[in-house]
Amino acid sequence: MYEDLLAGLNPAQREAVTTVTGPVLVLAGPGSGKTRVLAHRVAYLLRAAGAHPRAIMAVTFTNKAAAEMRERINRLVGEAVPSSTGWKGLTIGTFHSICARVLRQEAASASLSDAYVIFDDGEQLTAAKQALRDLKLDEKLYRPEAMRGAISKAKNELIKPADFQADTYWAEVARRVYARYEEILSANNALDFDDLLCRTVYLLRDVPEVLHRYQDRYQYLLVDEFQDTNTAQYELVRLLADKRRNIFAVGDEDQSVYSWRGADYRNVQRFREDFPGAHVILLEQNYRSTQTILDIANAVIVRNTHRTPKTLRTDRGRGLEITIHEAYDEADEAAFVVSTIQRLISRGDAKLGDCAVMYRTNAQSRALEDAFVARGMPYRLVGGTRFYQRKEIKDALAYLRLTHNPADNLSLTRIINVPPRSIGDKTISALAAWSTELGLSMAAALALVAGDLSSPALPDDVRSRFTKPPEHPFGSAAQRSLIAFYRVYAGWMAAKEHLTVAGLLDKIAEEAGYATWLRDGTEEGEDRWENLQELHSVAAHYDDFPPELRLTAFLEEVALVSDQDELIEDNDRATLLTLHTAKGLEFPVVFIVGLEENILPHSRSQEDPDQMEEERRLMYVGVTRAKDRLYLVRAFRRTIWGRSEVNEPSRFLRDVAQAAKGTKDGRRSMDDARGTGASRNAAFGGVSSRGAVAPAPSRQPAAVSQPSPTIGGQTSGASRQSSAAAKSSDGRPLQFKPGDRVNHGLFGEGIVLKSASTLDDEEVTVAFPGKGTKTLLASFAKLRKVTG
């Protein structure tokens, strides 16, 4: 029975789907079909176990994953369960969105106003700065960013200010800042991201009635990416599952890459302790990658000490060899990526949408974007300067938020003088001080200045406090400006009940003078206006919501969107994204760029073995995204903060190369079977030359324009790497030695000072008379020896 649901699942997957009662822990390797298992399990619960949709909660880490699961379940169950039973009553969402909804629902029990706004990390920082200022602490001495981090960490670990361990003076200061920070958020009727989680936990802990209601409702819990849960998230799940114990957790310790966000992969072990007798299921069968790619992944991850060994298997066969490429600088690296993609497409080996370029830090996307633009190749950038981070979008949202929640002083401060309304810093500070004195929000104080005692900005209990508006500290000019602003603002407050969100946005843009101010006649102005229109169309999705809910729902959604959510499939664009964002995705063709020490692994992990293990997991995540083709790329030199830096090749390249050496026997690259040292030099001539040291235009035939060092081939770094470890001058004779006279296309004649072999090339330091000393990559710089 239900064979149609289980068809095509392997025995382990089937077990995971059908073990419906009791705790289940699924350890799922990359590409092992865990999303499939999750969706099938929900479908199975609904159809075979007779579970009510309302009894199921599935938690994911991104909205995109939630949407995908929803869609899959829809496909599996859509017809089987009549919509009248409301199978859409399923709770599927991110931790944050589910918690936001619970808190809204239970606002009274959680001592919250249901009009609360959500502060993002930028606003967290602003609030932390405010707290420092309130406590008269020096921002130079106590970095706001560090304070924000400490507060966030504490919240993720469910530590309240009173419980904050202050064993150093700095920590004592942090504790005070944390306490003040909480007061500020409360005064603004705001919750930050971390509050969404910890306040929900406190609610469940402190109010048994609410806990029991949710425990009774959610009889089946499913949690994806369990290795990425932090303490608050773990505790939330544990509390909810405590009664029925029907908890299904899926995770992979090797893919834990969010420790900086408080995630602790040891929660996987903790699960086994807290839910004794848990059914543990291993998914090791990989349906995504070739064995060659899995071997590379294994070579990287096997060096981590804190892990449960597991082996990934695939039936896909060895497939193509991977390619390692050494570029000169980031521009050359990007050019290699773009021209390789072009070649794959022209040969019919891939579509543009099959290709993804992954990097460690967002800043690396710049050079890649330049190269894609230069070649006229469409791409989509995931993350980076995100839509919702743009000034015009933040301004517009601040207007809406202030209209929604008059207590939001941060939003008021942000927009009260944008566009300029002659309300300067002095006036704003005075307004802030005066409102604090009165124990009111700034918007409420504005209402008093305007003499509007029936203003919705004034809390009910406050309205009766005044028979007439109190004396205020503003001069006549300032007063006039403030009242003018208050009048239009009051109009929005009155209109928010009957206007749609889009309609309200129009009204505000018009009456705030924001539209005219934005469209200043410049091209950038038009771009900004178009962005605003985009927000407008997002808002229009909420037109059909119940009037009392739509503004709330809209603001909640935009506060909780993530970078990954932008990822809509697109066959006609290559994807540029960070390794973190790549988690959970797969692509036929994957480039991992910037494989250099201090980039990947990141410089901040150099001193910390635990962090280094996380870098390794990040690399592992990247490698296992690839289905067929994998390119590992590094640049000899790279511009960081406007300065050119030279970094060693990444240790991960070494691991990969050594592993390949042990298993292969002269296997050739998928791209070129002629990967000899001589033709390899041509690789650098074949790509566009935009480095500081420009080589002459390629004179190489097109056919050999792209050979690369290959794993397993005679020219791979592997064979050299092992001997290089023994001695710097390895088996391969260096071409250049100190004292040699050489000629360079740009710098002319020079003298070699020293020469050293790198992973698969040669670095030559040359003194050019009158032009200084340069370190050059032999294959790229096209150095010619000058004889006689």
Partner DNA sequence: GGGTGCCTCGAGGAC
Partner DNA sequence: CGAGGCACCC
Q: Count CA atoms within 13 Å of residue 525 on its CB side.
A: 9
Q: Which residue has 């009549």 as its token pair? A: 82
- The nearer residue to DNA, 412 or 724, going by C-beta atoms, is 412
Residue 304 in contact with DNA, rule: CB under 7 A = no
Cα–Cα distance for residue pair 185/581, rounded to 1 Å:
30
Question: Which SS3 state, helix, strand or coil, does residue 754 take?
Answer: strand
Interface characters, 460-489, with DNA (x: CB under 7 A): -----------------xx-----------
Q: Site residues for DNA, window 585-604 (CB under 7 A)?
A: 602, 604
Query: Angle at Cα 61 formed by Cα 58 and Cα 65, nearest 5°?
Result: 70
CA quadruple 439, 441, 446, 451: dihedral sign: negative
| Closest alpha carbon to 112 in 179, 215, 188, 163 | 188
Residue 514 in contact with DNA, rule: CB under 7 A = no
- The nearer residue to DNA, 395 or 763, going by C-beta atoms, is 395
Among 25, 29, 59, 62, binds DNA (CB under 7 A): 62
DSSP H or E segment with residue 1:
none
Q: Which residue has 């802030």 as its token pair? A: 432
Among 4, 85, 88, 145, binds DNA (CB under 7 A): 145
Residue 362 in contact with DNA, rule: CB under 7 A = yes
Residue 568 in contact with DNA, rule: CB under 7 A = no
Residue type (1 letter), 98: I
Q: Which residue is catalytic, options 60, 200, 219, 255?
A: 255
Q: Which residue is catalytic, options 13, 14, 34, 176?
A: 34
Q: What are phi and psi of 389, to 5 degrees?
A: -95, -10
- The nearer residue to DNA, 39 or 66, going by C-beta atoms, is 66
- The nearer residue to DNA, 414 or 629, going by C-beta atoms, is 414
- The nearer residue to DNA, 584 or 686, going by C-beta atoms, is 584
The answer to whether residue 661 is catalytic is no
Distance in angstroms between the alpha carbons of the first and the last residue of the chain? 87
- The nearer residue to DNA, 197 or 509, going by C-beta atoms, is 197
Q: Which residue is catalytic, options 123, 182, 192, 225?
A: 225
Q: Count CA atoms within 13 Å of residue 204 on its CB side.
A: 25
Residue 91 in contact with DNA, rule: CB under 7 A = no
The answer to whether residue 255 is catalytic is yes
Residue 205 in contact with DNA, rule: CB under 7 A = no
Cα–Cα distance for residue pair 709/627, rounded to 1 Å:
21
Cα–Cα distance for residue pair 301/309, rounded to 1 Å:
9
Among 229, 298, 339, 578, binds DNA (CB under 7 A): 578
Q: What are phi and psi of 734, to 5 degrees?
A: -70, 145
Among 227, 564, 705, 757, binds DNA (CB under 7 A): 564
Residue 261 in contact with DNA, rule: CB under 7 A = yes
- The nearer residue to DNA, 625 or 744, going by C-beta atoms, is 625
Stretch that binds DNA, among 69-77, 203-211, 490-498, 607-615 (CB under 7 A): 607-615
| Closest alpha carbon to 282 in 257, 254, 304 | 254
Q: Which residue is catalytic, options 18, 35, 285, 676?
A: 35
Among 182, 264, 329, 563, binds DNA (CB under 7 A): 563
Strand stretches in 270-322, DSSP E: 279-283, 285-286, 313-314
Among 14, 580, 638, 661, binds DNA (CB under 7 A): 580
The answer to whether residue 782 is catalytic is no
Stretch that binds DNA, among 217-225, 402-410, 563-571, 679-687 (CB under 7 A): 563-571
User: Minimum CB separation from DNA for residue 631, in Å?
Assistant: 20
Q: What are phi and psi of 124, to 5 degrees?
A: -55, -45
Cα–Cα distance for residue pair 327/340, rounded to 1 Å:
13
Label the pairing between strands 247-251 and 313-314: unpaired
Q: Which residue is catalytic, options 316, 414, 550, 625?
A: 625
Residue 361 in contact with DNA, rule: CB under 7 A = yes
Contact criterion met (CB below 8 Å) for 334 and 367: yes
Among 6, 9, 115, 363, binds DNA (CB under 7 A): 363
- The nearer residue to DNA, 189 or 605, going by C-beta atoms, is 605
Contacts with 252 (C-beta within 8 Å, 6 or more apart), sequence order: 27, 28, 29, 30, 227
User: Listing from the earlier edge strand, what are the strands of the sheet with 587-592?
Assistant: 323-327, 626-635, 587-592, 355-359, 574-578, 379-381
Residue 648 in contact with DNA, rule: CB under 7 A = no
Interface characters, 408-437, with DNA (x: CB under 7 A): ---------x--xxxxxxxx----------
Among 210, 223, 278, 560, binds DNA (CB under 7 A): 560
Residue 744 in contact with DNA, rule: CB under 7 A = no
The answer to whether residue 35 is catalytic is yes
- The nearer residue to DNA, 194 or 329, going by C-beta atoms, is 194
User: Minimum CB separation from DNA for residue 449, in Å?
Assistant: 14
Residue 360 in contact with DNA, rule: CB under 7 A = yes
What are the Cα distances from residue 207, in Å, to 101, 210, 491? 17, 6, 39
DSSP H or E segment with residue 72:
helix 63-77
Mark residue 548 as left, alpha or beta (left: phi above 0; alpha: psi -120 to 50; beta: remaining): alpha
Stretch that binds DNA, among 90-98, 246-254, 340-348, 460-468 (CB under 7 A): 90-98
Cα–Cα distance for residue pair 773/750, rounded to 1 Å:
9
Stretch that binds DNA, among 105-113, 163-171, 399-407, 635-643 (CB under 7 A): 635-643
CA quadruple 659, 662, 663, 664: dihedral sign: positive
User: Minimum CB separation from DNA for residue 747, in Å?
Assistant: 21
What are the Cα distances from residue 708, in Å, to 189, 291, 718? 58, 21, 13
DSSP H or E segment with residue 155:
helix 144-156
Give the 3-state DSSP-derived string for 363-379, with helices as H, strands as E and coil as C.
HHHHHHHHHHHHCCCCE
- The nearer residue to DNA, 298 or 365, going by C-beta atoms, is 365
Residue 383 in contact with DNA, rule: CB under 7 A = yes
- The nearer residue to DNA, 62 or 413, going by C-beta atoms, is 62
DSSP state string for 576-640: EEEHHHHTT--EEEEEE---BTBTTTBGGGTT-HHHHHHHHHHHHHHHTTEEEEEEEEEESEEEE
Residue 32 in contact with DNA, rule: CB under 7 A = no
Residue 225 in contact with DNA, rule: CB under 7 A = no
Stretch that binds DNA, among 349-357, 520-528, 559-567, 702-710 (CB under 7 A): 559-567
Site size with DNA, rule: CB under 7 A: 52
- The nearer residue to DNA, 392 or 615, going by C-beta atoms, is 615
User: Minimum CB separation from DNA for residue 491, in Å?
Assistant: 21
Residue type (1 letter), 71: E
- The nearer residue to DNA, 121 or 284, going by C-beta atoms, is 121
Contact criterion met (CB below 8 Å) for 282 and 15: no
Cα–Cα distance for residue pair 445/416, rounded to 1 Å:
13
Interface characters, 100-139, with DNA (x: CB under 7 A): --------------------xx-------x---------x
User: Minimum CB separation from DNA for residue 565, in Å?
Assistant: 7
Among 87, 193, 218, 747, binds DNA (CB under 7 A): 193
Exposure pattern of 231-255 as b/e (b: 16+ CB <10 Å)? bbbbbbbbbbbeebebbbbbbbbbb
Q: Site residues for DNA, window 146-165 (CB under 7 A)?
A: 152
User: Minimum CB separation from DNA for residue 670, in Å?
Assistant: 30
Catalytic residues: 34-35, 224-225, 255, 625
Contact residues toward DNA (CB under 7 A) are: 61-62, 94-97, 120-121, 129, 139, 143, 145, 152, 193-194, 259-261, 360-363, 383, 417, 420-427, 477-478, 560-565, 578, 580-581, 602, 604-605, 611, 614-615, 640-642
